[in-house]
């Protein structure tokens, strides 16, 4: 395992590897990155047989280093949950002759500019878009596309620095924010390319798929709640989506085929616009934000385990089980603003609710950022419904019952869970 997120997937993937009867070595450039993470998520360091350090950002040197380790430890596969290392993992697997997707396909999926150009050329429906490298080109491309539009970095995760802009003044603010963020949370230099996209309207869903031997199976479709304009913060999910989604499934499969992703779990985001489904992005790994847990509670299919099985060349069993659950949903508590949290009120109701299967809130003293990406959550609740598609509404009602007290002098009033937003301190990503 080459690096990991420090959110939920830092425990879900190691757990899955162990539960299907495998063991793993963990390789990282910075042990402290994981030692600093929140104690609510067990570190992959604690589940690994071996914990080794190496410069995981130097891919040529890493290939040679892992080859030497392979001579001793005899790896059966290479894996990660962290988007920033998925192309590296694919290159290592190919270098060692182990199972895995085409490294070029993974690179195309992880870089939003390469995804857009590849899918445009393949005829996969998506928004009108433009790419730019500097401010004059960005301003000119935006004027040609027309406002409002969406500005995106091509190589960040969790919605970081993705925002709607209504005019050139807001575009300049967004461009300056990207220019001031030259490396990501793992100290990798960022690609300066800016992606400008037509603003799509309509509900958003994600298509969860498994591709093995070039054949893609749709496990199901998850719906998504988004909050905090001009930002696009994911405030909740429900599986399965309570929407007509056949067109979305077809677009997702077409995108995977066009990118060449012939092996792996994928999480493909689609907008259901009035003109039909349009592709937002392809993520060549299991979904974050505990979506995989929603899928598991409804279908019995553990997508992190499937991710691990494919990494070692095993054929996963994708037959759904009757779990007695018809829908599962997660809803997130967003901070009304930045500041030191004194208390999250109402959490005792989550502990007493019989349909709540998981919940957490940040402790007193946590420093909240502004709610501009998926990195800013102050808590979550997961609800299941054995009767039908009621889990989402129930989870949202429970989260609406929470409120946040801030500790700063003059700002200690009780503040509710509104979705007004400003800006965010750089963070890692949510998974």
Dump pLDDT digits (tens) for 72-117: 999 999 999 999 999 999 999 999 999 999 999 999 999 999 999 9
- Looking at the domain assignment, is residue 431 inside a domain? no
Q: What is the CATH number of the domain that holds 185?
A: 3.30.1490.20
**pLDDT score at 102:** 96
pLDDT score of 417 more than 60: no
Last-in-domain residue among 169, 198, 227: 198
CA distance 55 to 64: 12
**E-state strands within 32-116:** 50-53
Indicate whether 64 and 17 sit together in one domain.
yes
Q: What is the residue range of 371's domain? A: 324-408
Considering the domain architecture, whether residues 131 and 193 belong to the same structural domain is answered as yes
> Considering the entire predicted model, what is its pTM?
0.93
Domain annotation covers residue 212: yes
Measure the CA dihedral 182/183/188/190, to 10°. Answer: -40
Same domain, 83 and 192: no
The neighbour count for residue 271, using CB atoms within 10 Å, is 23
**For residue 279, what pLDDT is reported?**
98
Shared domain check, 219 and 177: no
Q: For 206-240, what is each residue's pLDDT tens digit?
A: 999 999 988 999 999 999 999 988 999 999 999 99
The enclosing domain of 352 has a CATH number of 3.30.470.20
Q: What number is the average pLDDT over the span 178-198?
A: 95
Q: Average pLDDT of 405-410? A: 78
- Residue 12 sits in the same domain as residue 77: yes
Domain count, the chain: 4
Q: What is the pLDDT at residue 43?
A: 65
Q: What is the pLDDT of residue 28?
A: 96
Please say whether the beta carbons of 360 and 347 come within 8 A.
no
pLDDT of residue 139 exceeding 50, the answer is yes
What's the Cα-to-Cα distance from 355 to each of 152, 238, 295, 327, 352, rounded to whole Å?
A: 37, 14, 16, 11, 9
Partners of residue 188 on adjacent β-strands:
none
The reported pLDDT for the residue numbered 96 is: 98
Query: Are residues 408 and 364 in contact, defined by beta-carbon separation less than 8 angstroms?
Result: no
Answer whether residue 411 shows pLDDT above 50: no
In the predicted model, what is the mean pLDDT of the chain? 92
């Amino acid at each position: 395992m080459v690096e990991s997120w420090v959110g939920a997937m830092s425990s879900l993937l190691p757990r899955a590897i162990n539960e299907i009867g495998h063991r793993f070595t963990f390789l990282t450039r910075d042990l402290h990155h994981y030692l600093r993470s929140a104690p609510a998520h067990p570190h992959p360091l604690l589940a690994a047989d071996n914990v080794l350090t190496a410069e995981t950002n130097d891919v040529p040197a890493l290939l040679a280093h892992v080859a030497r380790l392979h001579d001793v430890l005899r790896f059966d596969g290479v894996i990660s949950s962290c988007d920033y290392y998925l192309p590296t993992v694919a290159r290592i697997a190919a270098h060692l002759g182990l199972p895995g997707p085409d490294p070029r396909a993974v690179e195309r999926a992880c870089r939003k500019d390469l995804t857009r150009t590849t899918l445009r050329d393949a005829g996969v429906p998506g928004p009108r878009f433009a790419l730019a490298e500097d401010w004059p080109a960005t301003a000119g491309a935006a004027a040609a596309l027309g406002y409002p539009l969406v500005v995106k970095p091509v190589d960040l995760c969790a919605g970081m620095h993705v925002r709607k802009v209504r005019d050139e003044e807001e575009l300049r603010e967004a461009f300056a924010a990207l220019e001031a963020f030259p490396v990501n949370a793992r100290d990798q230099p960022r690609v300066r390319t800016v992606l400008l996209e037509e603003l799509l309207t309509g509900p958003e869903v994600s298509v969860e798929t498994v591709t093995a031997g070039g054949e893609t199976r749709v496990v199901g479709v998850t719906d998504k709640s988004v909050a905090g304009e001009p930002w696009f913060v994911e405030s909740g999910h429900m599986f399965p989506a309570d929407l007509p989604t056949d067109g979305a499934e077809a677009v997702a499969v077409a995108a995977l085929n066009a990118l060449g992703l012939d092996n792996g779990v994928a999480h493909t985001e689609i907008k259901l616009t009035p003109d039909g489904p349009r592709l937002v992005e392809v993520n060549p790994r299991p979904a974050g934000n505990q979506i995989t847990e929603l899928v598991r509670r409804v279908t019995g299919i553990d997508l992190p385990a499937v991710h691990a099985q494919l990494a070692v060349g095993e054929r996963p069993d994708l037959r759904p089980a009757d779990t007695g659950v018809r829908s599962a949903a997660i809803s997130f508590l967003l901070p009304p603003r930045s500041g030191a949290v004194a208390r999250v009120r109402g959490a005792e109701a989550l502990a007493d609710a019989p349909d709540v299967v998981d919940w957490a809130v940040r402790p007193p003293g946590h420093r909240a950022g502004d709610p501009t990406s998926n990195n800013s959550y102050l808590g979550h609740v997961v609800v299941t419904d054995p009767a039908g598609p009621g889990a989402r509404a129930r989870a949202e009602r429970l989260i609406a019952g929470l409120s946040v007290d801030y500790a700063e002098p003059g700002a200690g009033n009780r503040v509710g869970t509104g979705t007004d937003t400003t800006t965010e301190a750089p963070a890692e990503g949510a998974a």
